[in-house]
Amino acid sequence: EATSSVDTETELLIQQALERLMIGRTTVVIAHRLSTIRSADCIVVLKGSQIVEKGTHEEL
């Protein structure tokens, strides 16, 4: 995870930069922090190699 070892201010800057880069693109993001994927169009939750949940942040 790109933001695992940075302070919250730096994490926000990184997330904003990534969001600008992802506009109009399909992007796969692997994350442990909810804040990293909060604005995703679709979130897939894995347990081991199985999909256990899928949806938007609000749906999950």
Instruction: Provide the residue ranges of all domains of the chain, joining segments of one domain with +.
Output: 8-55
Contacts of 56 (CB under 8 A, 6+ apart): 40, 41, 42, 43
pLDDT band at 1 (very low <50, low <70, confident <90, very high): low
Instruction: Give pLDDT tens digits for 27-45.
Output: 998 887 777 788 889 999 9
Q: How far apart are CA 22 and CA 24, in angstroms?
A: 6
